[in-house]
Amino acid sequence: MKIALICLFTLLVCLFAVSSAIAQPIVELSRTGGSWEAAVIFLVFVFITLVIVYMSAKRTRTAKDFYASGGGISAMQNGLAIAGDYMSAASFLGITGLIYLYGYDGFIFSVGFLVGWPIILFLIAEQLRNLGKYTFADVASYRLRQKPIRTLAACGSLSVVLFYLIAQMVGGGKLIQILFGVPYSAAVIIIGILMIVYVSFGGMLATTWVQIIKAIMLLFGATFLAVASLYVVGFSYEFLSMRAVEIHRFRWGIMVPGKMLADPISAISLGLALIFGAAGLPHILMRFFTVSNAKEARKSVFYATGFIGYFYILTFTIGFGAIILVSTNPNYLDAMGRLLGGENIVALHLAHAVGGDFFLGFISAVAFATILAVVSALTLAGASAVSHDLYGSILRKGKVSDSELMKISRRAALGIGILAILLGIAFEHQNIAIMVGVAFSIAASANFPVLFLSMFWSKLTTRGAVIGGGLGLVSVLLLILTGPIVWRDTFGFAEALFPYAFPAIFTIPLAFIGIWFFSITDKSEEGQKEREAYKAQFVRSQTGIESEGIKYI
């Protein structure tokens, strides 16, 4: 009854906000907003997802149910859920906007996001499932000292989660603002309330099914946008490209790199962040604990790679279609010729251009589903780091009941949700794909080196992991905060102290070198024991013997 009342309250909040917006749409922000079709489709999706939360909450009784859906998700379902997790607002809204603005440079994000998957498929997925329980900190601390490693892993996870959440909150806020005329801050609050309800009561099961539904909707919607864009040019990629070149302000510049990433360091740094960051994202790594064994984990990545690869191929077509159909239509431009609502919502304008109000409503629901599914997964990952790693494993030393652990998780979800709302408001004018690139830089610098070496390097010690991983985390956060995205664009200073938006080219080597040096110079007796324990860990990581929930004949 309590859950039903909370879900009803959440739905009423959304209904009130949307109905108020339709009554008084902000015409100067968007000439396509305020349609009843868009409102109906949008609210139907919210209602369906709240029903999923209600059904999931009744089945979420233990910590394993809350964090890992009881390990009962199939490989196909998990593959769709992983794809739903990975194809975030940055993928759908942000990358489309960057391709619309810069052409080739925007497409680099699509390629980079996809290239990281072989690392997960061949090096991470099976070993992670065999060694871990709920979070990647279980793996990193398997043969090392629990307290320092889990503290470092939790700090790295929370840093990634918060920066990733900024991108999703900005995308969601702009979406609701452009569609219904709700003030941006109110739109961000609506998203925050929904994600807190989803995570607090539905846990991983609700998040998984929202992601599956969202992935199916997104793949269908993106396919329709791409096909409609090709239809305009007679299904010819040559004519699509030529027409986009003729129209775009950069002309032939959209077919070559250098408009957004003006120097090799920026391009290489972004590429490193996207490739290695994927294997350090806590909300993605958590998904491998929702299947029954390592084989299913590997199959999950295989399915996810297919879905994700197909989607990213479509982003080029959608972005160039937007150049042709949106940039030439005065209904989507202001008096200065700039895109109404900013580049983050160019996909919505394209949806209206090819399908009218009804398809705008559908794509808006898809985009909202995209954002809601990802913010729920991120919030769950952050709450897991606080409750499982910090509270349960460090503060209570593993002596904690499931009910207490879930209670702490819900409180953590509330705190993360409030913080995400504040950050989403503060970073309103950032491109969401760029913000996700920042989150990938943190994951690649802080989480990936420790996780990778803990599984594949026998000489790793706690001393090396903590100092090296700490160097990676502190350096990447410091360079991001003093870089152009935060120091100049958010804080408002004239010049950034650090000239590059993505510092991964500096911080990833620093983390690996620090871990290597401080491990090989560790001559302590405890360090020697940790090295000797690697053999047992390696056997379990490769075979799954004694892994939780895995039975062998």
pLDDT at residue 20 in the model: 43
pTM, 2 dp? 0.85
What one-character DSSP code corresponds to residue 528? H
DSSP calls for 177-215: HHHH---HHHHHHHHHHHHHHIIIIIHHHHHHHHHHHHH
Tens digit of pLDDT for each residue in 429-488?
A: 777 778 888 999 999 999 999 999 999 999 999 999 999 999 999 999 999 999 998 898
Tens digit of pLDDT for each residue in 356-385?
A: 878 887 888 787 777 777 888 888 888 888
Question: Of the ranges 250-264, 294-308, 468-482, which one carries the lowest mean pLDDT score?
Answer: 250-264
How would residue 38 be classed by pLDDT, with cut points 50, 70 and 90? low
Cβ-count burial of 295 within 10 angstroms (0-12 exposed, 13-18 middle, 19+ buried)?
middle
Three-state DSSP class for residue 499: coil
**CA nearest neighbour of 143 among 474, 500, 412, 527:** 527
| Tokens, residue 226 | 């791409």
Residue type, 235: F
* Range among 164-173, 206-215, 448-457 with highest mean pLDDT value: 448-457
Question: Of the ranges 30-39, 356-365, 371-380, 413-422, which one carries the lowest mean pLDDT score?
Answer: 30-39
pLDDT at residue 310 in the model: 93
Whether the per-residue pLDDT at 7 is higher than 80: the answer is no
Domains and CATH numbers, the chain: 2-53+79-543 (1.20.1730.10)
Query: Rounded to an integer, what distance in angstroms lies between the CA atom of residue 272 and that of residue 79?
Result: 24
Name the one residue in this structure whose structure tokens are 């109905």.
19
Average pLDDT, the chain: 83
Whether the per-residue pLDDT at 26 is higher than 60: the answer is no
How would residue 1 be classed by pLDDT, with cut points 50, 70 and 90? very low
* Range among 33-47, 339-353, 446-460, 487-501 with highest mean pLDDT value: 446-460
Cβ-count burial of 292 within 10 angstroms (0-12 exposed, 13-18 middle, 19+ buried)?
middle
pLDDT at residue 8 in the model: 46
Whether the per-residue pLDDT at 33 is higher than 90: the answer is no
CB atoms within 10 A of CB 1: 5
How would residue 138 be classed by pLDDT, with cut points 50, 70 and 90? confident
**CA nearest neighbour of 539 among 153, 145, 143:** 143
Please enumerate in sequence order all residues whose Cβ is within 8 A of that of 384, keeping only pairs 6 or more positions apart, or say none.
Answer: 67, 134, 135, 282, 286, 409
Residue of higher predicted confidence among 522 and 73: 522
Mean pLDDT over 310-329 rounds to 92
Three-state DSSP class for residue 339: strand
Q: With pLDDT > 70 as the criterion, what percentage of the chain qualifies?
A: 89
| Tokens, residue 351 | 């949806």
Whether the per-residue pLDDT at 339 is higher than 90: the answer is no
> Helix crossing, 104-115 with 432-442: angle to 10°?
40
pLDDT at residue 548 in the model: 54
pLDDT at residue 286 in the model: 85
